[in-house]
Structure 1
């Protein structure tokens, strides 16, 4: 039995605007909605309550690494001068 067009009309209210929704597909064919996704191992993930906490920790680590790289050439120069004496 084929339905005519009048039977197929939606009975949804006007405030239900589904055109603005972004739909995510599951699986490998899904579309990325921006940003890079990184998967954390369970033992690491349990240490962080949110993505913001992970980002804060990584930014701190980056600062520490940069500070150590800035100090390292100075320390090496001081060590080589002391060896020359």
Structure 2
């Protein structure tokens, strides 16, 4: 690293996008990933699609209880 940096020509907010959306990285435990991968392959869908379906079903069941 340099001892000093010159930011006199820098442009503030150049990479800021107020409408940008953040996507959360989800890390699955190996046993869960293996299980979901097998099911996704059987259904011929991507794992992320399967995970979203499972989570939506869980949300519906929770909302049904409330």
TM-score (norm 1): 0.33
Q: Which has the higher contact order (CA 8 A, sep 6+)?
A: 2
TM-score, normalised via structure 2 length: 0.40
Greater C-alpha Rg: 1
